[in-house]
Structure 1
Amino acid sequence: MVKTVLRVAGALALLAGIACGGSQESAGGTPEQVAAAAANGGRGGGKPKGTAAVTGVVKDIATGALLSGVTISDGTHSATTSSTGAYSLSGTAAGTATLTATGNGYLQTSQLVTVSSTAASTVDWALTRSYGNQKIPAANMSTVVLAWNDLGMHCDQDDYSYFMVLPPFNTLHAQVIQRNSESSGLTVSYAFPKKTDSTLHTNFWQYAAQYGYAVAPNVGISGSPLAGDMKPDPNGHGFIAQGIPVTPYDDDGTWDPYGTATLTVKDSTGKVLQTATVVAPVSTEMMCSNCHGTTNPQLDILQKHDALSGTSLAADHAAGKVHACSECHSDNAIGAPGKAGVESLSLAMHNFHKDKMSTTSVAASTTPDCYNCHPGPKTQCLRGIMARAGKTCHDCHGDMNAMTSGLQGGRKPWLEEPRCGSCHDAKHAENSGTLYRNSLLQNSPSGEMNGRFYCEACHNGPHAELATANSADPTIPMQFQGDNYWIWSCTVCHTSQPQSSMHR
């Protein structure tokens, strides 16, 4: 059996938790998280002596209803929420503590928090209702496909005639599980039924050669076409299609940032074993016009860059020459080294704009403020279960000042990111020194599944962790599990094993 196909019949139980064993960076988190923690009263700090109260409210994550009768505990002390969902927990030692919330009909939830010795700490909760009574559709299937997009959202541009920030680029992953029998020579193909010609909605290929990419229309910069066969992933655990040039527009012009790809699994004879659909999120909603005007924001950006940096971008454009930002500014997102002595693209953008978010009333009223550049008020890319629980961009990344400080302090953008383990315990963290999107399960009930299943296979990509607020995301769990949650049921992949907790 090739490693890209996972046969698990007879193995122990499968139950998805929060993330997948280990840690990514130092226990303090990224510089942005440290700065954010300081701004929020020292979350993530040391362990001063003494105790202080922990207070907060508990709500239903789906409805927002305040929940009474929920027990909050640090393992020694406990408190119960009132009719208004409020609680006050006393006696918890100052420093880092793991609190749990337990309510009838809800999943037990944990948070890693820092308790102050001088003032009450606020810890709010959003609980998910218990699940698991439905019949699992995969129980009657021989082949299961776990598929996902790696980042939860990819950014693109509508117009490349002035400059390029990022090219069209979307990446899909799949892991194939054969429940009852093993087939050889499996292939996985992908296609977008509503998005068959990206040239209808982007002029990227008219300028691609100037940006350094010798690619044919509807072929991405890594060589992946708009429809084709996925390749074995570098780790040998599944299949990947990297850099698909999909746009947020359907062929008929409909704005569709959450369009779906159809995956088709075939054996060596060409027999179709399974089909599945997976969202390929991409948006061009970079809101430059909020500050650079609606008439010609691209030209305004070039002119302001020239005035502030002594470049000749506007003149070059008038002469028919366009530039990619990554020619000068390094960009780890596309592996561009940039020029020595020039700030990375991420640092340049956050540093220069950190005091510009109140420049116009439109920018100032954009919520969250990150949506001034990241997709966006229409796209709503921050939609995962953490967002539904009330967490914001700033809780993980800090505000733009914290982002700038972290990057100036040496953080490598795209290569060093906030860690699940900063708020969840060690068994629900990334692998050591590894990003969430590349991490694998390490603490299953048996060792057989360790190092084989990606965290994102069960939980989905960052900013889009299941269960999300967008109905387009959970196509895989809906097809194989019968709900819109993360993959929690053993019987999605296993034929006859008892339900158990995945992360031990």
Structure 2
Amino acid sequence: MRRGIILAAVAAGAFASACGGGSGADAASAADAARNAATGVAGTVRDTAGAPIAGAVVSDGQRSATSASDGSYALAERAGTVTLTASRTGYATATQTVGVPKRGSVQVDWALAPTAPPPPSGGAYRVFANNDLGMHCVDRSFAVFSILPPYNVVNAQVVALQASGKPVLLDASQVDLRYAAIADATGSVNSTSKGKTDFWTYAAALYGAALPEGAGLMGLWMPADAPDASGTTLSWDAGLGLFHAPGIPILPIDDAGRTNPYPLLRFSAYDKAGTTLAATDVVLPVSDETSCQNCHATGKVAASEAGIAWSADPDLEAQARQNVLALHDAEHGTALRQQAPVLCASCHYSPALDLAGAGPSPQQALHPTMSSVMHGFHADKVAGLWDAPVPVGGTIPPAAQQACYQCHPGAQTQCLRGAMSSKLACQNCHGDMAAVGGAFPLLAGGSVDGTGDGAPRRPWKDEPRCQSCHANDAVSKTTLASAPPLAADGLRFNEAFRAGDPSASPLLASNRRFAEEPGKLYRHSKGHGGLACEACHGSTHAIWSGNANDDVAATQLQGHAGTIGECSTCHLSPPTMGLGGPHGMHPVGDEWVRAHDSVAEADLAACQACHGTDYRGTVLSRMFATRTLMGRTLTAGTPVGCFHCHNGP
């Protein structure tokens, strides 16, 4: 049964005093009335942050009760099984099925997720929050082995808008940041992790942490499970200079039992008196579509060798996982199948599970990394599966035919989404599986900080960079030997590494207009005004626009999906009419159009980087949204140039 339902006997007398008694014409009806008066349901209706909700209606379809100012309600019911709903304007309707005893009553508490929008974005504060990776994977079951636990990460910033002067970034000495459950447009709510996974059954054996059900590895909880506000409060990470929520134990199953890999949580900023300043609804992508059964189910290509006792478990995923351990035992002389559950990273180091950042243990140092054994070992096992960059103008094969989606989430989840997913695939940035597995030494500049050049790729560290493809503007071009092909727009590289480079070493751009901070990946970099790159562009692997829930945050912040490009998101008054915005942008809107002639007259050539040397527009001058400027309507995606309004520059 879902979290939020508390089943407990309630004294019959207390329930009768709340609901009143009945009377009848004979002894039988009197007995019925007495029994009905002494049976039923009672409880409290709260929101997912724990605040009582008044005026909520709890109903069985025939009878109903309305919650009081403290959220309490009582509803007379006959003994037996009954399905109840709780509803209130501004909240998602919840349903619970409970058993009502013959004597006494049952307590049914509710945690309703709000559907109303967050506090108006027209106020003086903004909350920017993003999942750090664009997707977090989690094991569907932990009974056999574990690769990844329930562990979602969100980074956030709070901006105070100023009537005059620049916006100010706030820290934990000024505001608190907490999260709560929120219904998405389909009514899907994810407020609890209880009853959705066997992680807590095996957490002590796998991770050495005897956790109460619902507790995350780093002390965070899902909103309906948290014992107090500290369980949903973001900490301040001084190293990142961000609010940080490491290890939210969210799962890809909503509270109605439906699969939803893109659930929303609401991140709200509060002043130190507890007043809500602003909020943004943020997707926490999570998927358990990390299956081994395509190859390792009994009888499949990796579980058919004679002489090995393959599993007959009727659960195909459990069967495949047991077969993985059996194959490991046969190949390496281990006894893992008898030692289940097994944490793969106990031998094969994974930075994703090195929560303290301590580096490999002595035991792990004896073995290849998790990334190396998974990608490197399987790289030559994917014959017949597509494992190459998508060529310019090429077609992306279906998910079931792609090497990456055999293990990564996949045909249903499709974790690579957003702005780049229509023309590119994983291999355009990461290279093939052998490259990801570190089979070849990195070229000069290939490691993120320069210290790993000439060595195999370091997993989770030496990753592709934005500047590797976004290396040019219309004037300043990055010139390379063995340069990758240009995309159809003539400005962006179609691949993040040199042509013919088996290591897929990320390129460094000489034009740093779109480059990350030196020595940092995109997800750790900041740009305009100290904002995280992900705050304006979206999460890694999910650059805006993405799917519907990905786009909620951008739409709330600026009024439409896509990259945050509206200056009014952070500036109460229009910024200076120049090129001092992100990546050298100028402001957008009528005020700029009315004043831009003075900027152009002062330095017309400065316009060419984005608007093109012919001033007819490029992909860098596309409209973020459809808008009417000085009486002319330009649709989203239109490359803007001088000739829309003039006969030339």
Output the TM-score relative to the length of structure 1: 0.66
Aligned AA for 1:188? L
Aligned pairs (5 A) from 1:35-50: none
Aligned pairs (5 A) from 1:90-489: 140-180=122-162, 185-193=174-182, 194-211=189-206, 212-227=208-223, 228-235=232-239, 237-293=241-297, 294=316, 296-317=319-340, 322-335=341-354, 337=360, 339-358=364-383, 366-388=400-422, 390-406=423-439, 409-425=455-471, 426-441=512-527, 444=528, 449=529, 452-468=530-546, 470-489=547-566
Which of the two has higher C-alpha Rg?
Answer: 2
Structure 1 residue 403 displacement after superposition: 2.1
- Please list every run of 5 or more consecutive structure 1 residues that lacks an aligned counterpart in the other structure: 1-136
Corresponding residue SS for 2:265: strand
Alignment check: 8 A CA contact 2:127 2:268 kept: no
Alignment check: 8 A CA contact 2:254 2:260 kept: yes
Alignment check: 8 A CA contact 2:385 2:402 kept: no
Aligned AA for 2:424? K
Q: Distance in 2 between matches of 1:403 and 1:266?
A: 42
Corresponding residue SS for 2:256: coil
- Distance change in 2, residues 1:380/1:255 (3 Å): same
- Distance change in 2, residues 1:364/1:186 (3 Å): closer
Structure 1 residue 141 displacement after superposition: 2.1
Structure 1 residue 238 displacement after superposition: 3.2
Structure 1 residue 215 displacement after superposition: 2.6
Structure 1 residue 178 displacement after superposition: 1.6
- Distance change in 2, residues 1:191/1:354 (3 Å): same
Alignment check: 8 A CA contact 1:386 1:465 kept: yes
Aligned AA for 1:327? S
- Distance change in 2, residues 1:154/1:365 (3 Å): closer
Q: Distance in 2 between matches of 1:196 and 1:258?
A: 13
Q: Does 1:502 align with 2:536?
A: no
Write the deviation string for residues 455-501 of structure 1: whole angstroms up to 9, x where unpaired. 11111111101122x11101111012111111111110001124654
Corresponding residue SS for 1:387: coil
Q: Distance in 2 between matches of 1:146 and 1:273?
A: 13
Corresponding residue SS for 2:380: coil
- Residues paired across the two proteins, number: 353
Q: Distance in 1 between matches of 2:200 and 2:124?
A: 42
Alignment check: 8 A CA contact 1:347 1:407 kept: no
- Please list every run of 5 or more consecutive structure 2 residues that lacks an aligned counterpart in the other structure: 1-118, 183-188, 224-231, 298-315, 387-396, 442-454, 472-511, 585-649
Write the deviation string for residues 401-427 of structure 1: whole angstroms up to 9, x where unpaired. 222345664211001111111111312
Structure 1 residue 164 displacement after superposition: 0.8
Corresponding residue SS for 1:348: helix
Corresponding residue SS for 2:364: coil
Aligned AA for 2:209? Y
Alignment check: 8 A CA contact 2:121 2:278 kept: no
Corresponding residue SS for 1:421: helix
Corresponding residue SS for 1:173: strand
Q: Distance in 2 between matches of 1:192 and 1:353?
A: 39
Corresponding residue SS for 2:381: coil
Output the TM-score relative to the length of structure 2: 0.52
Structure 1 residue 139 displacement after superposition: 7.3
- Distance change in 2, residues 1:381/1:161 (3 Å): same
Aligned AA for 1:399? D
Task: Name which structure has the greater RCO, CA cutoff 8 Å, separation 6+.
Answer: 1
Write the deviation string for residues 328-376 of structure 1: whole angstroms up to 9, x where unpaired. 0011111162522311000001122112224899x99724320111111
Alignment check: 8 A CA contact 1:164 1:324 kept: yes
Write the deviation string for residues 129-153 of structure 1: whole angstroms up to 9, x where unpaired. xxxxxxxx98732221111100000
Alignment check: 8 A CA contact 2:251 2:286 kept: yes
Write the deviation string for residues 1-48 of structure 1: whole angstroms up to 9, x where unpaired. xxxxxxxxxxxxxxxxxxxxxxxxxxxxxxxxxxxxxxxxxxxxxxxx
Calculate the aligned-residue CA RMSD, in Å. Answer: 2.5
Q: Distance in 1 between matches of 2:556 and 2:398?
A: 41
Give the percent of matched residue pairs that are identical in Structure 1 and Structure 2.
38
Corresponding residue SS for 1:472: coil
Aligned AA for 1:342? H
Counterpart position of 1:6:
none
Structure 1 residue 198 displacement after superposition: 1.0
Corresponding residue SS for 1:152: coil
Q: Distance in 1 between matches of 2:145 and 2:567?
A: 49
Report the more deviating stretch, 293-302 or 200-209: 293-302
Alignment check: 8 A CA contact 1:291 1:360 kept: no
Structure 1 residue 191 displacement after superposition: 2.1
Aligned AA for 1:175? Q
Counterpart position of 1:89:
none
Counterpart position of 1:492:
569
Q: Distance in 2 between matches of 1:334 and 1:306?
A: 24
Corresponding residue SS for 2:352: coil
Q: Distance in 1 between matches of 2:287 and 2:374?
A: 19
Q: Distance in 2 between matches of 1:365 and 1:152?
A: 18
Structure 1 residue 196 displacement after superposition: 2.6
